[in-house]
């Protein structure tokens, strides 16, 4: 499994903590920026990560901004992307199991690093359950989002 990871300025420090954990666990990733806490536009980084996932350069993506909401909205504009915001592990896990989320969005101003790491762990350890959930994911895809 390979991850594409990105953030804006608000999520930069939390992204660095997530990358350290991924490195510790031996999970390969591509850091698609930003590379500092200088102000940037989150849609640019959401698009980079979403495009990497959509193109198959990464299996999954992780995006971090202030709330996670902006990143999710921007990433979800790309066909085939199912970006989910999570602020606790239960929602993170179910976004994979029920919704086949392929990008996790976290809010650095909403969750602390400990909770963000728990969300990431729950999300990465989960897998899509298919079955009745596949029908619903198919409906999202047919309707363009």
Q: Kindly compute the dihedral angle of the four CA atoms of residues 63, 1, 82, 137, in this order, to the nearest 10 degrees.
A: -160
C-alpha span between 114 and 135 (Å, rounded): 34
Q: What is the dihedral of CA 51, 44, 89, 96, to 10 degrees?
A: -20
The answer to whether 133 is a known catalytic residue is no
**Whether the Cβ atoms of residue 102 and residue 60 lie closer than 8 Å to each other:** yes
The CA-CA-CA angle for residues 129, 48, 20, to 5°, reads 75
**119 catalytic residue (yes or no):** no
Options 9, 13, 47, 98, the catalytic residue: 98
Residues 61, 31 contacting (CB under 8 angstroms)? no
Q: What stretch of H or E contains 61?
A: strand 60-65
Q: Of 9, 13, 47, 65, which residue is the catalytic one?
A: 65
Catalytic residues: 65, 98
């Amino acid at each position: 499994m390979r991850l594409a990871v990105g953030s804006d300025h608000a999520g930069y420090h939390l992204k660095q903590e997530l990358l350290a954990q991924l490195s510790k666990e031996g999970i390969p990733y591509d850091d698609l920026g930003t590379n500092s806490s200088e102000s940037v536009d989150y849609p640019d980084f959401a698009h980079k990560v979403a495009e990497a996932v959509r193109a198959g350069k990464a299996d999954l993506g992780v995006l971090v901004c202030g709330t996670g909401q902006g990143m999710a909205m921007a990433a979800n504009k790309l066909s085939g992307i199912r970006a989910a915001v999570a602020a606790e592990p239960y929602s993170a896990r179910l976004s994979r199991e029920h919704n086949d989320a392929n990008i996790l969005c976290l809010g650095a101003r909403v969750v602390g690093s400990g909770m963000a790491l728990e969300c990431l762990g729950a999300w990465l350890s989960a897998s899509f359950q298919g079955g009745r959930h596949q029908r619903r994911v198919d409906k999202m895809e047919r309707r363009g989002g």
